[in-house]
Structure 1
C-alpha cells in the first residue's frame, strides 16, 4: 500500500515519543489517527495541530485508557496501530482498581479492536522494565539482557516504591497480554503483533515546552528540582532491574517504530536500546563534559556489574541506531536548558 493511502493510529498522541513519531509519520506521507485523553486540552491539541501536514492528514480522537472501548473509533480504517498510551497515575471512579488493571484491559481491548477492524499490525511501546535479567530465585543476574528475559514480579528491587512497582507490573503484564494476540500475516492468520521494549529515552523533542520525565531521570545527577532525588532513585531502580541501564535516543525510538511498520512481515518481541550504561558512567560523562554542574561524590560511586547487553533481534532485521551515548546525554542537557529546567 502506498503511504498516501495508508492510515495508522497512534495512541497517547501528545506524549514525548508519540508526538515525535506522529511528526515523522506525517512527514513520510501517512494519514494519522491520534488519540488524546481530552480533546479540550488546548495545550496538547495545539502541539499536534501545529505539525506540518496536520491540516490534511491528522485526525484527532478522544480516548481514555480508563474507558478502553473509546479507542475503537480511532482504530477503524487503519492498517497499522502504534499503542503508546500508558497510565502513570491511577484515576479513581472507574472500573479498574489500579494502573495495572487499566493497562492490561486496554491492551486486550485494543488488540481485539485491531482484529475486528482488520488491522494488519499492532506495534506496542513496551518497556525495558519488563525485561529484567534478574534470576527468578533472587540469586543475582543472568549473564545478559535480551528478549528471553522477563522481569520476575515476585522479586523486589532496591530503590523500588509503590509507583515504580506498579509501572513495572503494568508494562510487564500488558506486554504479555498483547503478545498473546500475535499471529503471522504470511500464514494468513491475521494480526501481527510487535512489542518494542524501549530503554530509558533521552533527547530533545523540540515540540514540547517542558522537560519529559525520562529526560529528567537522565539529568537527575545535575539538579535537585521536582525530579531531582526522586529521578535519581528511579534511575537507580532501572539499574537494579537491568544490572545497567539500557538507553536510547527518542529519534532512534521513532525510527524503530517506523522500521517495524515498513517490514513485509514482523512478529514478536524486540528490545530497543543503543547503549547499556551504569549510573556512574552517566555521572562521569557529565563531570567531564559538563563541568559547570557539580556532581555529588555519591553519584560517582557504585557497584560494577558484568551483565552484558545481548539483544540483537532488531539489528538482525536490518535496523541501525544513529545516536550514541554522547548524543543522548548532550541532548538531554540541551532539552533541559531549552525548557528552563537547567539554568546554567
Structure 2
C-alpha cells in the first residue's frame, strides 16, 4: 500500500480557488505540535502564506522536524515560544500577522483524575483565550481570529435535547450550546464550552477584528507530526488496532470527521470574507462496532467485532483501557448528529472525506511512523 505522503494528504482535500487566489498573508497558528495544527500549517504553506507557529519549546528540532520538512519552511515557517497560561507570551509571534488561528488547548478525555478537571483543562483553556485575544487587541494588523472549538461545546450526548415532535431526525446546529457538562462530568466539554463563550464575549467588546469558530466532532486521519500524546492516535494505537474491540465492542457512538477536512475548514474560515459565527465540522455519526468493520474492509488481517458488549462490562473495564466511566455514560448509544449545511454552503467545502479513507490513511500513516505494527 502506498505511503501517506504530504502530497497524498493535501490531494485528498485539494486547495480551493479562494485559497490559492487569496493575498499571501502572515498567519499565527497556536499549538503547532497539535494533531489538527500540522495539516492546517501544511495547507497554509501550500497556499503561499507565511506561518508563525507557537509551541512550548521551539528549539526541539526532533519534535518539529516533520513541520520543517513541509514546503517552503525556510522562508515561510517560523517557530515561537508561547504558553497558554502566560500573559504576553503570544505578543512576539503575533507581530505583523494578518490572521490568527487559535488551536492550542489541552486535549484529553482520559488523563485527568477526578477533581482535576478545572485545574488541568478548564482553567488553561480560559487562560489561553484571554492571553491570545489580549495579544490580538494589542496587534493592529490582525483582522480575523479563527478558533478551534468542538462539538462538545454544542452537546454532550444525543439526548441533550428532546427529539422533534414530528419524528424528523434530531440534528444539533450552531445555535446549540452544551448545558450538561460540568467540572466533574466531562470537564473537557465544559472547558470547550466556557472558552468558546469567553472568546465570543471578548470579540464582542471591540470592532476591529472578527471571530469565527470551528467545532469539529471526533477528529481522525493522517497528520504531520507523530502526535503520540493525541487522544486520536491513542484510540487507534491502544484500543482499536490491538483488537480490544474483538470479539465485542461497546455500543458507543462516534461522531467522526477527517483531520484534512478540519484543516481545510480553518483555512477557508480564514479567507472567506463572509464567514461568520460558528461552523460545525462533522462527516458521519457511526459507532465502535461499525468502525471495526470499516477498518477490516481495507486491512483484511484486522478482526472486526462480532457482537455488542453489554453496558455493565464496558463500564467496568473502561478505565482499564483509558476510557473513563463518564465517557462511557455520555457516549453510550447512538452518536449525536449535526446539521452541517451551513458549513458547506458558507465555506465552499465540496463534501467530506469518506470514512473508509480516513481510517485507511490514518492507520497506514501510523504504520509508517512506527506507532503501530503491521498485522
TM-score interval, normalised by the smaller of the two chains? 0.7 to 0.9
Task: Name the SS of the counterpart of 1:145 in structure 2.
Answer: coil
Which aligned segments of 4 or more residues in structure 1 are displaced greater than 6 angstroms?
138-142, 300-303
- Asked if 1 retains the 8 angstrom alpha-carbon contact of 2:27 and 2:49, the reply is yes
Post-superposition CA distance 1:204-257 (Å, at most 9, x none): 225538584314425633326xxx68xx99x97xx5xxxx42211121111111
TM-score (norm 1): 0.80
Q: Is the aligned partner of 1:126 residue 2:156?
A: no
Task: Name the SS of the counterpart of 1:196 in structure 2.
Answer: strand
Post-superposition CA distance 1:76-125 (Å, at most 9, x none): 2111100011124799xxxx943211111210221222122131111011
Give distance in 2, aligned partners of 1:155 and 1:71: 29
Any stretches of 5+ residues in structure 1 without a counterpart? 157-161
Give distance in 2, aligned partners of 1:60 and 1:343: 34
**1:1-344 matched pairs, under 5 angstroms:** 5-88=24-107, 97-118=119-140, 119-132=142-155, 134=157, 143-154=170-181, 165-182=186-203, 189-208=207-226, 212-218=230-236, 220-223=239-242, 239=252, 244-299=253-308, 305=334, 308-317=337-346, 318-340=348-370, 341-344=372-375
- Asked if 2 retains the 8 angstrom alpha-carbon contact of 1:22 and 1:32, the reply is yes
How many residues are treated as equivalent by the alignment?
318
Decide whether aligned partners of structure 1 residues 155 and 44 sit closer, same or farther in structure 2, where only a CA change above 3 A counts.
closer
Please give the root-mean-square deviation of Cα atoms over the aligned residues, in Å. Answer: 3.4
Query: Quick one: higher RCO (CA 8 Å, sep 6+), 1 or 2?
Result: 2
Give distance in 1, aligned partners of 2:337 and 2:287: 11
Give distance in 2, aligned partners of 1:10 and 1:307: 30
Any stretches of 5+ residues in structure 2 without a counterpart? 1-18, 113-117, 165-169, 312-331
The more displaced of 317-326 and 257-266 is: 317-326
How many Å apart are 1:69 and its aligned residue? 2.2
TM-score (norm 2): 0.74
Decide whether aligned partners of structure 1 residues 203 and 97 sit closer, same or farther in structure 2, where only a CA change above 3 A counts.
closer
- Asked if 2 retains the 8 angstrom alpha-carbon contact of 1:65 and 1:87, the reply is no
Give distance in 1, aligned partners of 2:256 and 2:241: 18
Partner of 2:315: none
- Asked if 2 retains the 8 angstrom alpha-carbon contact of 1:3 and 1:29, the reply is no
How many Å apart are 1:304 and its aligned residue? 5.7
Give distance in 1, aligned partners of 2:181 and 2:63: 37
How many Å apart are 1:35 and its aligned residue? 0.3
Task: Name the SS of the counterpart of 1:144 in structure 2.
Answer: coil
Partner of 2:7: none
Task: Name the SS of the counterpart of 1:117 in structure 2.
Answer: coil
